[in-house]
Structure 1
């Protein structure tokens, strides 16, 4: 099926995620929002039947502000499911939606990808052994240096809040083993390129791994043994960057709270976190539903709402769509930023 547009407007391809989660619901809600930019060519990748059933069910609950699937471009993928192994079937479907969406985005210029939430356990049950969509994207695009960046634009101040993860979907016990000077340098290189799209002289912070950033070796040795030197040597090669760290993780994001809420507060461009929850907890607390997951280092822009499948509320009509709205807005903004695209 050929969805290439002829008037060269921006295409946003949306993979629907897990059919049994809130993905279909928040997509229908988001595409009806007046916050979505105009003149965007949306292509949905997933089950047309599921989307139509979701629409009819939500309407029966009294919801009215929904996009009608009959008016949407949908690359329909229907995969037979087994009643005895529904979780595996949903995992296989969501994986197929993602890989087809990547294929469409790679095929056409001036397009971006927004991904609905998936269930990693369902992927494993279906035989797709990836720790997340980020890793599938990196492999599909053949990139080695990529990053999981969480970004949010404050509705109060307009400041863009960025947190990049040094390590992603790995067990906490594995984090110290994965962290190296080379890894930190590669992530800071990516972060610099991303932030340079918005400012010529970014200000970056780096959180320490240990409490109080190790307290000079008393509470952990990584900062003293190599992380301090790693940041110094990178900054010497990138003197146009203001780099602070390693900072005590328990106070590293205090300035982010101020910048999010106060237009006159001192602003920074981003924080590098050492591991998943270290970065995601303050990100989600400060930005609430405005946080967006994006993969940097790809040849195109990819964003995703910063939440999971919400199985416990699926089908109830109460799923909030703000993060999906923000994911779409961020994908449009970043794709339209030619300076940003030139860095990837």
Structure 2
């Protein structure tokens, strides 16, 4: 049984708490998982979630990932990284916290690329803390992409990745990720849309066991209304969809972005028309999934030679240390990582 590595996230945020809660509340799902991080940070988190009349969750330091398989239920195995900062003040942005979070992600990514772990689940980090630590990547996705490209000895452009946010009701994949809205508009190109469709098709074909039905959202209101509100749909998006269909991909659109997500939403009463929606920019795709329930959403990085998932929320500095953070999305991320690992 290969193990899953869970990174502790920013130690000033809720990451360590939700990790501790996941081990406490979902021991079956967390079997064979271990935490990459700092033992003292996880012990503080275990104390933060302690409840009256319920014993504290034990934390055990391990020396290798394989040791996690034999850990008893509700015990948190921690692989201590040498040299990373220990517990940081709750709710405060700092270079030390950013460095600790980044070092955990780098270690886990390299372990997955070497085949030492089956995949990784990343607890939330804080982008300002990363920047304060001198990390040149704006988030997990870009850092993972760079590590994978370096491991395979290829240029960054040869390792294209996409962000997918998924729940039991809706999946969305983004053409662009962590860039300004002005830059996101510039990223709506024939090449980027076609590449997004190709990456999504390959990833979901593996997980669904069939070709996914992909809907493509327009960029402009009403998908441009025949050119009245913009010509990107006519000149860029539709030709990219046509080329994808010529390659055998089941792609449709462009559809009005204010209704396409409802058409793709899957409920017990009505199956969705599509398996996934391709969104033109970050907020267009993430708002619908998060509105349906942050506790159900999982962030999946597509295009990497490894499995990586994460909860779809941030560090929540305003409630860090109070023991009230919800671990449901992290538990869902672990379940999805297991499914993707096969």
User: TM-score normalised to the size of structure 2?
Assistant: 0.86
| Partner residue, 1:252 | 260
C-alpha distance in 2 between matches for 1:247 and 1:86:
40
Question: How far did 1:260 drift?
Answer: 2.7
CA separation of 1:222/1:127 partners in 2, compared to 1, >3 Å: closer, same or farther? Answer: same
The counterpart of 2:135, out of the listed 107, 128, 137, is: 128
1:184-333 equivalences in 2 (<5 Å)? 184-197=193-206, 198-238=208-248, 241-257=249-265, 259-262=266-269, 264-333=270-339
* Structure 1: 5+ residue stretches without partners: 1-8, 155-160, 337-344
C-alpha distance in 2 between matches for 1:53 and 1:47:
10
C-alpha distance in 1 between matches for 2:191 and 2:28:
39
Contact 2:176 2:187 in 1 (8 A): yes
| Partner residue, 1:41 | 32
Which sits farther off after the overlay, 189-198 or 203-212?
189-198
Find the residue that maps to 1:254 and give its secondary structure: helix
| Partner residue, 2:174 | 165
C-alpha distance in 1 between matches for 2:120 and 2:105:
9
Contact 2:98 2:125 in 1 (8 A): yes
* Structure 2: 5+ residue stretches without partners: 61-74, 150-157
C-alpha distance in 2 between matches for 1:268 and 1:221:
25
- Residue 101 (str. 1) matches residue 111 (str. 2): no
| Partner residue, 1:76 | 80
Question: How far did 1:234 drift?
Answer: 1.6
- Residue 92 (str. 1) matches residue 88 (str. 2): no
What per-residue deviation string (whole Å, max 9, x for no partner) do you get for residues 209-263 of structure 1? Answer: 111111111111211222111111221121xx43221110000111234x2342x
Which sits farther off after the overlay, 145-154 or 9-18?
145-154
Find the residue that maps to 2:135 and give its secondary structure: coil
What per-residue deviation string (whole Å, max 9, x for no partner) do you get for residues 100-135 of structure 1? Answer: 111222233561100010000011111101111100
RMSD: 2.1
User: TM-score normalised to the size of structure 1?
Assistant: 0.86
Contact 1:148 1:168 in 2 (8 A): yes
Which sits farther off after the overlay, 96-105 or 316-325?
96-105
Contact 1:28 1:68 in 2 (8 A): no
